[in-house]
Amino acid sequence: MKRDFQAPGRSPVFAREAAVATSHPLATSAAIEVLQDGGNAVDAAIAAAAVQAVVEPHMTGIGGDCFALVTAPDGRLTGFNGSGAAPCAASPEKLAELGVSEITDTSPHAVTVPGAIRAWETLLKAHGTRQFKSLFKRAIDYARDGFPVAPRVASDWLKNVDKLAADPVSAARYLVNGAAPEIGQVLKYPHLAATLEAIGDEGADALYSGAIAEDIVGALAAKGGVMTTDDLAACHITAVSPVVREYKGHAIAELPPNGQGVIALIMLGILERFHLENLDPFGTERFHLEMEAARLAYAVRDHYVTDPGYMDICHTRLIGEDYIDQLAQRISIDKRQTDIAETSLAPQTDTIYLSIVDKDGLSVSFINSLFSDFGSGIVAPESGVLLHCRGRSFKAQPGFANSIAGGKRPMHTIIPAVALKNGAPWLSFGVMGGHYQACGHAHLLTNIIDYGMDVQAAIDFPRMFFDLETHALQAERLVPPATIEGLKALGHTVVPAQGAIGGSQAIMIDKARHVLTAGSDPRKDGHAAGY
């Protein structure tokens, strides 16, 4: 598909030496600065993520979790699972004793150990060349001296005033006279600046022990939480082997559970059986098949995917040909199936994803998240650490794949990804948007592989996903009316999307031409850049 230069839009970024794609311009600039100063892709990713922890505080932060895929120029993949576990004292029985029957996003029991900073440190030790102290410089400057609020950030902030106002500390830190900040308003976070400085000087242990850890535990205890400083001190990062499945001559690599990456692979396996390349990318048939595949795959997710130590089935079986054949046979091209279990969806969330490729061909696919907007809304008062709510995915009752348990990691929505072609790195990509991410991976890849879109066109292309309450299909505004009517005729309920669905970044690597092609989602504030 060729760009219409008379229509709004943006071209992909072409570069030869290095490329960066993030959801915030200040993060992209920070990453480029590190690369041009001699740092590598992992160094630049940490610098960018630290900036985003300041300038996109509703999406990400040092009180969140992190996953990453690092790809060497020869195609060797290394995965990092930076998700924290539930406190050791957590259990359905303990929550019942405390009168808790549901884990909401603002509950202290939704706060699992934040794994991000330990993950960043592990990534740097394994693949980086710089230290926190130099990489945090931009983030510390923005936190101490101020940064202007970007338009999409301001729009999201406005939706969360009630959530922030419910807690005195979060209200004081993240509201301006009780209101959300305006576009372009300059904000400062001196407490967070001091914490970033401490981590820069002392390493990750500064967060997982000592005064900052005590501040975090105290903030949770005041609300009835059961996390201890021992829970924080025990935080560790797991190096994992990616799960790889072929899709039309491309090896798609995802991280294994507790993330939902295998669900993207299941979707691709189902869709591969229906020859999408012969269908109109805007047409009813394409969206029908994509949504039916998503419904099937997400039902699998809800039934099986959790901390791998608690799974009833090996994840490799879920992406096996026999199992995917069984799933695909349930899809009818002529109608919506009524016997698929509706997936369990928490309120829709978002995150930050970034992709970087450096001059040596090292690439990093990186995602960091608080899960819900502003996470749990719980802020450690002295350190300024805003805590995530990843434990929102746990069930408070026993008997479920994701029933809460001490030391257990919850099912995660955030999933970085990589695609290889002929054994060489070809695409570093990810999709933001909470539960949408697995579906978004399949959507993006089929846009590129089946329909020949460049990375920016594939990112821009209109999306569809489930409504959270009714399970109707939400369609973005640019989905053609004829397609929507066609879906209704097949038995789907389709409603307008309440807002943009997710976001995305991607970098394509053309080794033969020594060219990088980068794209960033216009649904966010960011952009791609290179040199």
HSE of 83, CA atoms in CB hemisphere, 13 A: 31
Q: Is the pLDDT of residue 359 over 60?
A: yes
**What pLDDT shows up at residue 347?**
57
**Span 243-287, pLDDT tens digits:** 999 999 999 999 999 999 999 999 999 999 999 999 999 999 999
Tokens of 528: 């791609």
**Span 104-147, pLDDT tens digits:** 999 999 999 999 999 999 999 999 999 999 999 999 999 999 99
348-352, 399-403, 463-467: which has the minimum mean pLDDT?
348-352
Tokens of 237: 């990062």
Q: To 10 degrees, what angle do helices 261-272 and 321-328 make? A: 70
Cβ-proximal residues to 141 (8 Å cutoff; 6+ apart), any chain? none
Average pLDDT over residues 300-305: 94
pLDDT-based confidence at residue 9 (cuts at 50, 70, 90): confident
pTM of structure: 0.96
pLDDT-based confidence at residue 196 (cuts at 50, 70, 90): very high
**What pLDDT shows up at residue 340?**
87
pLDDT-based confidence at residue 180 (cuts at 50, 70, 90): very high
**What pLDDT shows up at residue 5?**
85
**What pLDDT shows up at residue 345?**
67
pLDDT-based confidence at residue 59 (cuts at 50, 70, 90): very high
H helices within 1-83, ranges in order?
25-36, 41-55
Q: Are strands 363-369 and 528-530 parallel, antiparallel or unpaired?
A: unpaired
Q: Residue 249 is which amino acid? A: G
SS3 call for 482 = helix
Taken as a whole, the chain contains a residue count of 531
Q: Please calculate the CA angle 365-370-372 and round it to the nearest 5 degrees.
A: 120
- For 343-392, the three-class secondary structure string (H helix, E strand, C coil) is CCCCCCCCCEEEEEECCCCCEEEEEEECCCCCCCCCECCCCCCECCCHHH
**Span 413-436, pLDDT tens digits:** 999 999 999 999 999 999 999 999
SS3 call for 188 = coil
Tokens of 292: 């039916």
With tokens 């229509």, the residue in question is: 7
Helix then strand then coil, in percent of the chain rounded to 5, is: 35, 20, 45
Domain regions of the chain by residue span? 19-239+353-393, 261-348+436-509
CA dist 311 and 332 (Å) reads 30
Tokens of 481: 């009316």
CA dist 340 and 330 (Å) reads 9
* CATH architecture group of domain 261-348+436-509: Orthogonal Bundle (1.10)
Tokens of 102: 């549901």
Question: Exposure pattern of 434-455 as b/e (b: 16+ CB <10 Å)?
Answer: bbbbbbbbbbbbbbbbbbebbb
pLDDT-based confidence at residue 348 (cuts at 50, 70, 90): low
**What pLDDT shows up at residue 413?**
94
Note whether 329 and 293 are within 8 A (CB): no
**What pLDDT shows up at residue 75?**
93
**Span 495-514, pLDDT tens digits:** 999 899 999 999 999 999 99
